[in-house]
């Protein structure tokens, strides 16, 4: 790690001081006085090594083009127009959550006469473990990446201005607040208490790091339209992308969803008089299947992956 200038003078001799990032003690280079440095310690930064080259990134994109419910002729007709690496900044917070979550779980029982009783099972769970949270630290536009899936990689020396990267647009203070609340939610969810009546969870931040992560951006054309995909520069997996859908898959999904959903809903309706709970569950599952297949039929002309909103997965929007 190289020295950095902090624009301070030695109180003993007045000489200019330099200090390595993260250290609190330094010796004056002129009078050798031992000095303790106070103030904002800044943010730890690290850069992950880019394990991919252009050939491997292109191979990952071609494999992705031929997977899933995308257009069947996409691998043959898609033309790669751009492929280049870039570094995106991400905040990563590691914190320990410690506390208690109390509540209860409801269990429904049906006797031989069809009478339903609800029993409340008290629950008390202790949480004491470390959690990790990440969030992108810049405006990545339409790339469809909001957080890190992989948080491990080989660290290399970070030198400002030597790597192509997006500018950091969010502060460490905001990242700490968001990360703390997110980890509190993770801890609450990890307790597994369905109905919470009391909780006391302390989140103790351990380290906040700004990670510069390698991403390969690929742009391609298909049938006169432009699409994109992003490749993880550490693991080689696809992080996000847009691709044309296939009308045949849309029709098959709609047909299968309607058939299976209708069968389950009809079976549920026939069971309502004998077993209301089971019948109701089957009806809901059947309607949900039908709704999901309809949404895919309506919006499945474009397949999206990553953190890009998926209109064909928005069942809530269908119900509104």
Place of tokens 């033309």: 79
Closest CA relative to residue 261, chosen from 272, 269, 271: 269
Strand pairing category for 25-27 and 34-36: antiparallel
- Residue ranges of E strands in 137-287: 155-156, 195-222, 225-232, 238-244
Query: What is the C-alpha to C-alpha distance for residues 176 and 133, in angstroms, rounded to an integer?
Result: 10
Per residue in 160-173, pLDDT tens? 666 677 888 888 88
Q: Tokens 């980890």 map to which residue?
A: 183
> In the structure encoding, which two tokens stand for residue 122, read together?
């008290």
pTM to 2 decimals? 0.74
Report the first-to-last Cα separation within the chain, whole angstroms: 55
Per-residue pLDDT of the chain in tens (320 residues, 90 and over written 9): 444 555 677 888 888 877 765 566 778 888 888 887 766 566 788 889 999 999 999 999 999 999 988 999 999 999 999 999 999 999 999 999 999 999 999 887 777 777 778 888 999 999 999 999 999 999 888 888 999 988 888 888 766 666 677 888 888 889 999 999 999 999 999 999 999 999 999 999 988 999 999 999 999 999 899 999 999 999 999 999 999 988 888 888 888 888 898 888 888 888 777 766 778 888 888 888 888 888 887 777 888 888 887 766 666 655 55
Q: For the purposes of burial, counting CB atoms within 10 Å of the CB of 90, is it exposed (0-12), middle (13-18) or buried (19 or more)?
A: buried
- What pLDDT, in 10s, does the model give residues 245-288? 888 888 888 888 888 988 888 888 887 777 667 788 888 888 88
Comparing C-alpha atoms, which of 61, 82, 42 is closest to residue 210? 42
Q: What is the DSSP string of 233-260?
A: TTT--EEEEEEEB-HHHHHHHHHHHHHH
Extended strands (E) in 64-176: 79-110, 116-136, 155-156
Alpha carbon 2 to chain centroid, angstroms: 33
């Amino acid at each position: 790690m190289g020295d950095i200038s902090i624009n301070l003078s030695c109180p003993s001799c007045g000489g200019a001081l330099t200090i390595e990032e993260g250290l609190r003690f330094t010796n004056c280079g002129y009078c050798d006085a031992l000095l303790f440095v106070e103030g904002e310690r800044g943010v730890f930064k690290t850069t992950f090594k880019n394990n991919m080259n252009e050939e491997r990134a292109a191979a990952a994109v071609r494999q992705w083009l031929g997977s899933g419910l995308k257009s069947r002729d996409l691998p043959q007709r898609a033309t790669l127009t751009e492929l280049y690496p870039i570094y995106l900044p991400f905040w990563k917070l590691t914190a320990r959550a410690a506390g208690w979550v109390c509540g209860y779980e409801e269990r429904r029982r049906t006797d031989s006469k069809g009478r339903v009783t609800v029993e409340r099972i008290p629950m008390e769970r202790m949480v004491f473990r470390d959690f990790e949270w990440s969030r992108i630290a810049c405006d990545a536009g339409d790339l469809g990446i909001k957080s890190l899936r992989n948080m491990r990689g080989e660290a290399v020396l970070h030198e400002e201005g030597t790597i192509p990267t997006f500018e950091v647009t969010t502060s460490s203070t905001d990242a700490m607040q968001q990360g703390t609340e997110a980890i509190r939610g993770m801890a609450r969810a990890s307790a597994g208490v369905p109905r919470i009546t009391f909780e006391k969870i302390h989140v103790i931040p351990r380290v906040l790091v700004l990670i510069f992560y390698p991403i390969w951006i690929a742009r391609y054309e298909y049938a006169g339209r432009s699409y994109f995909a992003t490749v993880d520069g550490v693991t080689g997996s696809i992080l996000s992308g847009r691709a044309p859908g296939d009308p045949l898959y849309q029709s098959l999904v709609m047909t299968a969803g309607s058939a299976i959903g209708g069968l389950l809903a009809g079976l549920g309706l026939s069971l309502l008089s004998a077993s209301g709970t089971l019948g109701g569950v089957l009806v809901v599952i059947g309607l949900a299947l039908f709704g999901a297949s309809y949404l895919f039929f309506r919006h499945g002309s474009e397949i999206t992956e990553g953190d890009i909103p998926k209109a064909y997965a928005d069942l809530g929007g269908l119900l509104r």
